Amino acid sequence: MPSKQNDCSFTHRNDEDLLKLMVGELRPHNASITLVEYDPRWPELFEREANRIRSVLVNKALQVEHVGSTSVPGLCAKPIIDMLLVVEDSADEPSYVPALEAAGYTLRVRESEWFEHRMFKGPDIEINLHVFSAGTSEVERMLRFRDWLRSNETDRDKYAQVKRSLAKNKWRHVQHYADAKTSIVQEIMDRANAAE
């Protein structure tokens, strides 16, 4: 969740800033980040969850993708499956939120200032379900980053090195760790974009 729509510089957001985005309680992490080696079961867990989301939302789920580090073979990651759900209009919560909540998903983030991003936790698998509107540039950016890391071993290894280094620190909130990766993500995205 970058701090500004088009700003990729690292911003350490305070509790007050994070509280504005959270739905429900903001629980401090106050620990290092646990990274694990790539697990070949992650794609299977994604497929299971994607099938459930498609069955719940039917034609409202325009696209469901496996994103984030768990979608990149060989990359270490937090053992949480990041998923991308594209709907017609993510700000139109009545069109999809009740159906997801009825299936056990919990809305945790409402980030209106950043592409109308919403994020849900899953009912029984550790996931972050990121919801964006069709045509949003962030959808393309997330997929390009995933695909680049899947095909570029040098950047995949560099990203893993930065992640491991940052993960050793004590983070008040996991979001602070995510924000701290902004510069390496942008550096890699610059190379991916230049290679087009």
pLDDT(132) > 80: yes
pLDDT at 170: 93
Q: What is the mean pLDDT of residues 29-36?
A: 89
Q: What is the mean pLDDT of residues 160-179?
A: 92
Name the nearest CA neighbour of 52 among 89, 92, 81.
81
Determine, yes or no, domain membership for 7.
Answer: no
Q: 27: domain range?
A: 15-194
Long-range contacts (CB closer than 8 Å, 24 or more residues apart) made by 55-64:
56/99, 56/100, 56/102, 56/103, 57/85, 57/87, 57/96, 57/99, 57/100, 60/87, 60/88, 60/95, 60/96, 60/99, 61/85, 61/86, 61/87, 62/86, 62/87, 62/88, 62/134, 63/134, 63/139
Higher pLDDT, 60 or 22: 60
Determine, yes or no, domain membership for 3.
Answer: no
Determine, yes or no, domain membership for 21.
Answer: yes
- Mean pLDDT lowest for which of 12-16, 21-25, 37-41, 126-130? 12-16
What is the CATH number for 149? 3.30.460.10
Determine, yes or no, domain membership for 28.
Answer: yes
Q: What is the pLDDT of residues 9-21, one digit of tens each?
A: 345 566 566 556 6
User: Going edge to edge, which strands form the sheet with 81-87?
Assistant: 63-67, 81-87, 127-133, 117-121, 106-111
- Mean pLDDT lowest for which of 22-31, 70-79, 87-96, 113-122? 22-31
pLDDT at 15: 59
Q: What is the pLDDT of residues 41-87, one digit of tens each?
A: 999 999 999 999 999 999 999 999 999 999 999 999 999 999 999 99
pLDDT(179) > 50: yes
pLDDT(24) > 80: no
pLDDT(8) > 60: no
pTM beyond 0.95: no
pLDDT at 139: 98
Q: What is the mean pLDDT of residues 150-155?
A: 97
Determine, yes or no, domain membership for 142.
Answer: yes
Higher pLDDT, 41 or 176: 41
Q: How many domains does the structure of the chain reveal? A: 1
